[in-house]
Structure 1
């Protein structure tokens, strides 16, 4: 098995459990990704394969890796991010992977769903390709709006027509430059252009699409790609060692615990963390704030008496004590919360955050604040609402039970083994 992942935490974390399960079952697994993740790769039992021609930006924030992205917002941030992080890095990844495959003739390639160098390698060699999602189901559908708009599912004839019009308009206007970039990238690596719309004309669909959530958190579609399977949440391995912070015993006190997080990549402290901390300063709750790295935490000071600030606390240990998570809508964090039955308050910003938030609202597992409505008052009201209205917790617990019924690493490994055993030439999205 050859694994290939974009060198970013959200693209690596869900792969770790699957890699460990594949090695446990006796397969030789090599994993191509960034140097920062070598320890995680080897802890999973895989053989680390470093990036060479492929751009290794792991361990750096987006602005550090791509300084020209600083200050971008909205659609411009989304398109330039896709272009520079995923499209323009793919030819170098392809060169590395073809060289690797010359000395390691893999039976199957397993990649995150935006590691396009791996997609190109599968197309060039005929080796079957499996995707493991690092976010929402990204392929288009007549039953859903275009990616990035945060629209709910819409299956009526009129709404399906609306979806078609939105896709047409986006392909011809808003996303035209991204479609052209995908065409240029495929030209560069000697692959024929695809006639698909934006975000789908960069690579052929996979033979197997493993979606790392439960069916109840994804919009229903009548045109789901054959070979799609919802395997449940994949949240990485627990840390080898956990030293709890000094305030840990406070989690057992008789007051609700509110977790505020922006995940691992967002770095605008003032958009969510600052107003959320201030909003809850006078509430009878314990507030835990996890900042990730590269954040100017001085903007949060002086900290209210009920706030505990940490760069990182493993979700495996923290989420069983949390009553509400306040988030910008990061996919892995949201699914981790729901796997533990924790309801949500979401204030989505950019990238796919609005689409994740739309699924929170649709599934009834939390309150979503519109982008322009994020304020201290709205955040306070939303947290109080979720704490007091048991409907959100009941829905979150229902999804938690659904997660618990699935053994995600085992199911993913079984499906990957089946694909590898077929040993057939890639034909694009026809695996069963």
Structure 2
């Protein structure tokens, strides 16, 4: 039996892909403790794991970030990015306060900055990074340059990086009592491996990090999200286009969902939109649109011809698992990076911006449907994911040498 400590930020997009790993570890007879927020305590306890709730100063409510994280309200753009990065580091001591040192293996969220403290310890347990975000270290990162535009992009990132990352790096020095010896975001490079939840064809070629491509792990079946009354409309008579802004960024569906509905209103497709807690503007919907709050992806995605999304890493890889090509429009958090990977991998069209006009979305969806190269590439990535390790093999990878 291996003692595994799992450290995960209290956010749906982090918890969702972590739960199947915890369930598999428990099913294999291993002892699992989870450090996360109060909101997700029950979800992990139901899997048989011990849960240690983060102290209030390190916990937050992803549905009310401004209300649950002091100082965040009113910030936008790069100022918000600077604040959030510094805040990730600020809570490092509070995270460490609920982590014991008896674990054989630690699985750590890349944004859980206790990982930075752990990689510096000579006597630390085996430390693996949970790769449910695009792999970006060393920062700044990007695809292999193909021309002057890529070189210019790299130069701009290198110029901006010190300003954006500086406050967080200084806080890391203060909390750790000296220079951490690395950029605070780069600690996964010094872990014992990264369980990257995609396939190699969707990540830039890397030589610096011990990446283990395990494919997407999230499960989303009808048991979690019941089928709506109109489900039989997905009968294959028209291409199904799924539209979503992900599970969190739904305070304003006018950024993507509503423009996509307008863009596709006159097309010979069936638009299936999820609101995930958001609200559409009042008024009648076009006859080719169906709406639900949540839908089971393992039931929906095999029926889809394309997916329009703001670029959550988990949702994008869930689509690629089923060979669904993508139109991505997103710029917040890591979504700019996801959009870039969609374009780079050839599995769709990615736009690193906060929103897009209906005419742009209509053109992009038409292109993804009409040009076989997008679906062919998405299917190639699906085949690569299917050939990846089983969950039993992932468990063996985690517990290697500890049983």
TM-score normalized with structure 1 length: 0.84
Specify the alignment match of 2:382 in structure 1: 400
Specify the alignment match of 1:430 in structure 2: none
1:70 Cα deviation from its structure 2 partner? 4.2
1:240 Cα deviation from its structure 2 partner? 3.9
Specify the alignment match of 2:48 in structure 1: 45
1:178-217 matches, within 5 Å, as: 178-188=165-175, 190-197=176-183, 199-200=185-186, 205-217=190-202
Specify the alignment match of 1:257 in structure 2: 240
Deviations 1:214-262 (A, max 9, x none): 00111113x321x321111111464645521111000114011111111
CA contact (8 A) 1:34 1:51 kept: yes
Deviations 1:334-357 (A, max 9, x none): 000000111001112222212111
Residues 18, 351 of structure 1: alpha-carbon distance in 2 compared, 3 angstrom cutoff: same
Please tell me whether residue 349 in structure 1 is matched to residue 336 in structure 2: no
Please tell me whether residue 335 in structure 1 is matched to residue 317 in structure 2: yes
- In structure 1, runs of 5+ residues without a counterpart are 422-432
Specify the alignment match of 2:129 in structure 1: 131
Specify the alignment match of 2:117 in structure 1: 120
1:167 Cα deviation from its structure 2 partner? 5.7
Alpha-carbon separation, structure 2, partners of 1:355 and 1:307: 29
Alpha-carbon separation, structure 2, partners of 1:327 and 1:167: 25
Alpha-carbon separation, structure 1, partners of 2:262 and 2:402: 52
1:69 Cα deviation from its structure 2 partner? 3.4
Residues 107, 323 of structure 1: alpha-carbon distance in 2 compared, 3 angstrom cutoff: same
Specify the alignment match of 2:298 in structure 1: 316
1:53 Cα deviation from its structure 2 partner? 5.3
Alpha-carbon separation, structure 2, partners of 1:140 and 1:261: 30
CA contact (8 A) 1:116 1:203 kept: no
CA contact (8 A) 1:108 1:130 kept: yes
Comparing 395-404 with 48-57, greater Cα deviation is found at 48-57
Alpha-carbon separation, structure 2, partners of 1:118 and 1:127: 11
CA contact (8 A) 1:347 1:370 kept: yes
1:5-404 matches, within 5 Å, as: 5-52=8-55, 55-58=58-61, 60-66=63-69, 68-84=71-87, 86-97=88-99, 100-101=100-101, 105-121=102-118, 123-124=120-121, 126-140=124-138, 146-147=140-141, 151-154=142-145, 165-166=155-156, 168-172=158-162, 174-175=163-164, 178-188=165-175, 190-197=176-183, 199-200=185-186, 205-221=190-206, 223-225=207-209, 227-236=210-219, 238=221, 240-266=223-249, 267-293=251-277, 295=278, 297-299=279-281, 301-369=283-351, 371=353, 374-404=356-386
Alpha-carbon separation, structure 2, partners of 1:278 and 1:155: 35
Specify the alignment match of 1:426 in structure 2: none
CA contact (8 A) 2:63 2:248 kept: no
Alpha-carbon separation, structure 1, partners of 2:146 and 2:339: 19
1:196 Cα deviation from its structure 2 partner? 3.3
Deviations 1:274-326 (A, max 9, x none): 21111111112111111222x2x142643222222212112122111111100
1:329 Cα deviation from its structure 2 partner? 1.2
Please tell me whether residue 413 in structure 1 is matched to residue 395 in structure 2: yes
CA contact (8 A) 1:289 1:309 kept: yes
Deviations 1:82-129 (A, max 9, x none): 222x222222111121xx44xxx2111111111112442564562221
Alpha-carbon separation, structure 1, partners of 2:131 and 2:327: 23
| Count of residue correspondences | 398
Residues 220, 342 of structure 1: alpha-carbon distance in 2 compared, 3 angstrom cutoff: same
CA contact (8 A) 1:210 1:228 kept: yes
Q: Which has the higher contact order (CA 8 A, sep 6+)?
A: 1
Alpha-carbon separation, structure 2, partners of 1:203 and 1:396: 28
Residues 119, 27 of structure 1: alpha-carbon distance in 2 compared, 3 angstrom cutoff: farther
Alpha-carbon separation, structure 1, partners of 2:234 and 2:153: 45
Alpha-carbon separation, structure 2, partners of 1:199 and 1:111: 13
Residues 287, 186 of structure 1: alpha-carbon distance in 2 compared, 3 angstrom cutoff: same
